[in-house]
Amino acid sequence: MATREAVELAVQRLLERLDEIDPEVRRRYAIERTVTCRVRDLDLVYLAAIEDDGSVSELTTTTRGNGQVKLTTSSDDLIALIEGRLSIPTAWATGKLRIDASMLDLLKLRALL
């Protein structure tokens, strides 16, 4: 089990990578949505507001959250996903990642990541 600090460092790296994406590309694939990522083993929820230009305007940590796009995983698997050691399709197919979102949301978000 990863520590909360390790998870937050990985999430910060993900946000930095999103900031580095060409603004035109972000606008093409961005959708204005709230995204929650529940980290089961830490009993922690990250809540992010993604704007229509692809920027993340708000990131908060809580013990509850209900976004339009919902992800659930473990701390180790979240870090592996962010670092690219685990792919989203593999994590989903093996039950390491639970996703509750529309197909359009998934396709657009996947294009950004």
Q: What Cα–Cα distance (Å) separates residue 60 from each residue in 14, 28, 55, 105?
A: 15, 25, 15, 21
Q: What CA–CA distance (Å, rounded) separates 34 from 107?
A: 16
Please give the backbone phi and psi of residue 62, each rounded to the nearest 5 degrees, phi first: -150, 180
Model-level pTM? 0.86
Q: pLDDT confidence of 111, banded at 50, 70, 90?
A: low
Q: What is the pLDDT of residues 51-77, one digit of tens each?
A: 878 788 778 888 777 889 999 999 999
Q: What is the pLDDT of residues 77-107, one digit of tens each?
A: 999 999 999 998 899 999 999 999 988 888 7
Number of domains composing the chain: 1
Q: What CA–CA distance (Å, rounded) separates 2 from 11?
A: 13
Q: What is the pLDDT of residues 9-39, one digit of tens each?
A: 999 998 888 888 888 888 787 778 888 999 9
Q: pLDDT confidence of 113, banded at 50, 70, 90?
A: low
| Strand, helix or coil for residue 95 | coil
Domain range for 56 is 4-112
The enclosing domain of 103 has a CATH number of: 3.30.1050.10
The predicted pLDDT at position 112 comes to 63
